Amino acid sequence: MVKQMKIRESIESLVDSVAVAIFLILFLIGGYALVDAGMVDNSAAVDEEVMSIASQQQESPSFDFSELKAINPEIIAWLEIEGTNLNYPVLQTSNNSKYLVRDYRGEYSTSGAIFVDSRNDQLLDDFTIIYGHRMDGSKMFGEIANFSEKAFFDDHVAGVLYTEEGTYDLRVLAYSVLNIGTTTLYRLDDNRNDHNAAILEEALANARARGDNPSHETKLIMLSTCDKDSKHYRDVLLLSATKRGSAAAPSTPLAPGD
C-alpha cells in the first residue's frame, strides 16, 4: 500500500510538473506573440525624428527632401490625406517586393512601407499606383476601407502629395474594390500615360463611394491595399492630383444617383 501511494504521488508530481511546463510554454508563446504584435504595430508608425522633419517641411514654402534622403535615398515623396492617419513617406525602388517587408528606413519589417510601383517614372506619369499594407489601428493603408462610408468619405476628400518635382493638391474621387483577376488598372505599362479616360471609367464603375468626376486630363493616383475579405480583391482610392501653381482641370459634379 505504501509503495502504491508513493507511485501515485510520483505520478501526480510528474503530471503537475508537465502541467507547469506546458503553462510556461504557452505563457512564453503568448508573451512573444504580444511582443511581436507590438513590434509590428510600432514598425507601422513613423518615428518622431522623421515626423518632425516632415512637419517642418510641410510648413515651408517648398518641401526639401535632403534630410529624408539622408535617412533613405529611396524616399521620393510624402503623402498625407487630411484628417486621417495616412501621413507617410513614399518610397520607390526597382523591385516591388522590397518594401513589402522593409520599412521606410530600409530595415526589415512585416508592416513594410508605402511605395510607388517600380514601373512608374517616380510620380511623373499621368497615372501612378502607390501600395501599402492594410494594418490594424488605422496605420499604413488601414483606413482606406473606411472610405466606403459616405460620411467618412465626404469628410476626408482632401490631401497633399509632396514630391521633389513639386507639391500636388489631392482630391479623393472614388473608393473602389477591384478584382485583380479581371481589372486592367494594374497593367501599368499599358496605362501610365494617355489612358486616364479608361482608368476613370473602370474605377468609377467599381466604386462603392464617389466624389467629383474630373476631366480625364487630371493626373491620377491610385492607393492600393489588400481587401480584408478576399485575397482576390484590392481596396483602392482613386485620387486626382493638381500641381500647385498650375491651372486646375475642370471637374463636373456627379448627377444624383450616379
Q: What is the mean pLDDT of residues 45-58?
A: 93
Q: What is the mean pLDDT of the chain?
A: 83
Residue 243 has pLDDT above 70, yes or no: yes
CA 176 to CA 214: how far, in whole Å?
16
Q: How confident is the model at residue 157 (pLDDT cuts 50, 70, 90)?
A: very high
Query: Which pLDDT value is given to residue 3?
Result: 54
DSSP-derived secondary structure letter, 244: T
Q: How confident is the model at residue 109 (pLDDT cuts 50, 70, 90)?
A: very high
CA 242 to CA 244: how far, in whole Å?
6
Residue 28 has pLDDT above 90, yes or no: no
Q: Of 64 and 31, which is predicted with more confidence?
A: 64
DSSP helix/strand/coil, 107: coil
CATH topology of domain 52-252: Sortase; Chain: A; (2.40.260)
Domains of the chain by residue range: 1-43, 52-252
pTM, two decimal places:
0.79
